[in-house]
Amino acid sequence: MLLSLALVLLGLTVSDMVVLGSVRGQLVTRVDRQLERYGQSLAARLGTDGVPEPRFVHSNRHGSWLPSQFVVAFVAADGRVSEQFRLPVAAGDPRPVWPRMDAASLQAHLGKPFDVASDHGGSWRVLIVPVAASAVTTDGTSATDSSPSANVAAPLPVGVVVSASLDEVDSTTDHLSTAFLLIGGVVAALLGLAAWFAVRAGLRPLRLIEATATEIAAGRPLSHRMPEASPRTEAGRLSSALNVMLAQIESAFAARAESEEQMRRFVADASHELRTPLAGIRGFAELYLMGALVDEEDVKRTMARIESEAVRLGGLVEDLLTLVRMGEQRSVQPAPMDLRTLAVDALHDITALDPGRPVTLTGPGDLGTPPGPAPVLGDEARLRQVVANLVGNAVAHTPPGTPVRIGVGTLDGHGVLEVADRGPGLTPEQAARVFERFYRVDPARTRTTPTDGAGLGLSIVHALVTAHAGHVDLESTPGQGTLFRVRLPSAKQH
């Protein structure tokens, strides 16, 4: 606001100076024209009337030489100014102070108005009008005057000096300057008062934003938002930008909290899953060291259990390592391949795992179509692990004899591989968490068979498919079975 007022005052000052200069210039120009007109008239009369003497200035013959607002004098060739003629209004009236001139400076001033000082302060405007050469003879007398008059001097001057006081001009400009000063002061005061209220009103949204930011910094939840304001104002756009920033920060903190919670669950689940086989191995080893295994058959059976738990422990560690590598975004090694190869191998795997389970190989969607080609770019070893986990999940979580269908082909520009069963299916809540690490449908985590997993198989499937820029979808209805569909970009798109 202070800067704006300073700029306003600067503008008023400059404009006042320009106006005063223009007015004074016009007034002085008018005085110059009057001096020029009157001086030329006097210079023309010198040839007929000659130079009047001061004592005849009030006579009828010479009274017209001296209007009251002018002072008249004559200058000789050497620059000397004669006694001036004037009609004083009162005694002691101001009069000009003639400058000292020589012949050279006189020529420089001829016909050019200039200012001189006054003996009582102020200034006078002076114009030296040159006398025409035809009006002066070689002997210094008038060429038209054959009988010199008693009241006219014989030699004629080089020029007529006409001067007029600039008191009226100075008075006018002084009044204008005073008026401009008062007007400028009033305008500046009114503008300052209006700007004060306008700035305070304009900054009110910023004060609200400041108060809200202080509350958030003091511990108010990040869900709190800045007050809404018009987006056409800077404060409104700032409020909108801060609200967007707060939303992003809130989302980041929520994601961080969720990630920390997932990490805690992961560590707890991993500890639980690792503790079980380790406790088994340690217990069997203590039985052997205590001599509780007397028969050789007991020793063999215990060693088999230790080996089984060690294998299970090794598989769990491998699964964890696979998840860590996928979390570190370690790239796979893609190469051209066909998903039909994996589908046929999966068919043989299910037949080997459960010979009594019916398995069919179809096209995608189970529309009675035969399996079709599904060319993709993928890491065959990783994709075999995906198919093995899906097949193992179908065999482990469905009753014996439950039909399984494997579908393979191309659909919507993607290579598709499906594993579907007619088992008990999943509820919507279970389906939403089935790809989480260590998630198992049984909350008690009981193991009915040695092949029960730790809940990492499907999370590994999701991580490996995502690393191939693909998607894994789940369709499940309680009592009607479950379908896992893996979609990978077709090799024709690359």
Domain 221-329: assigned CATH number: 1.10.287.130
Burial tier of 75 (Cβ tally within 10 Å: 0-12, 13-18, 19+) = buried
Q: Residue 130 forms beta bridges with which residues?
A: 159
Q: Assess whether pLDDT exceeds 80 at residue 153.
A: no
Burial tier of 8 (Cβ tally within 10 Å: 0-12, 13-18, 19+) = middle
Structure-model confidence comparison of residues 313 and 155, the more confident one: 313
pLDDT at 286: 82
Q: What is the mean pLDDT of residues 166-186?
A: 90
Domain 332-493: state its class: alpha beta
Burial tier of 206 (Cβ tally within 10 Å: 0-12, 13-18, 19+) = middle
Q: Cβ atoms within 10 A of the Cβ of 484, count?
A: 24
pTM: 0.45
Amino acid at 435: F
* Range with lowest mean pLDDT among 299-303, 364-368, 437-441: 437-441
Structure-model confidence comparison of residues 301 and 249, the more confident one: 249
Residue located via tokens 């014996």? 400
pLDDT at 92: 66
pLDDT category at 222 given cuts 50, 70, 90 is confident
Identical fold for domains 221-329 and 332-493, yes or no, is no
Structural domain spans, the chain: 1-57+67-133+155-219, 221-329, 332-493
Distances 14 to 43, 54, 172, 182, 186 between C-alpha atoms, Å: 42, 48, 19, 15, 17
Q: What is the mean pLDDT of residues 358-368?
A: 84
d(CA 385, CA 464): 9
Give the range with max mean pLDDT: 2-11, 279-288, 306-315.
Answer: 2-11
Burial tier of 128 (Cβ tally within 10 Å: 0-12, 13-18, 19+) = buried
Does the domain spanning 1-57+67-133+155-219 belong to CATH 3.30.450? Answer: yes
* Range with lowest mean pLDDT among 29-33, 125-129, 429-433, 489-493: 489-493
Residue located via tokens 């992961």? 266
Residue among 404, 394, 365 at smallest CA distance from 487: 365
Mean pLDDT of the residues in the chain: 79
Q: Assess whether pLDDT exceeds 90 at residue 84.
A: no
Backbone angles phi, psi at 118, to 5 degrees: -110, 155
Structure-model confidence comparison of residues 57 and 50, the more confident one: 50
Burial tier of 225 (Cβ tally within 10 Å: 0-12, 13-18, 19+) = middle
Q: Assess whether pLDDT exceeds 80 at residue 446.
A: no
Q: What is the mean pLDDT of residues 309-338?
A: 72
d(CA 240, CA 294): 79
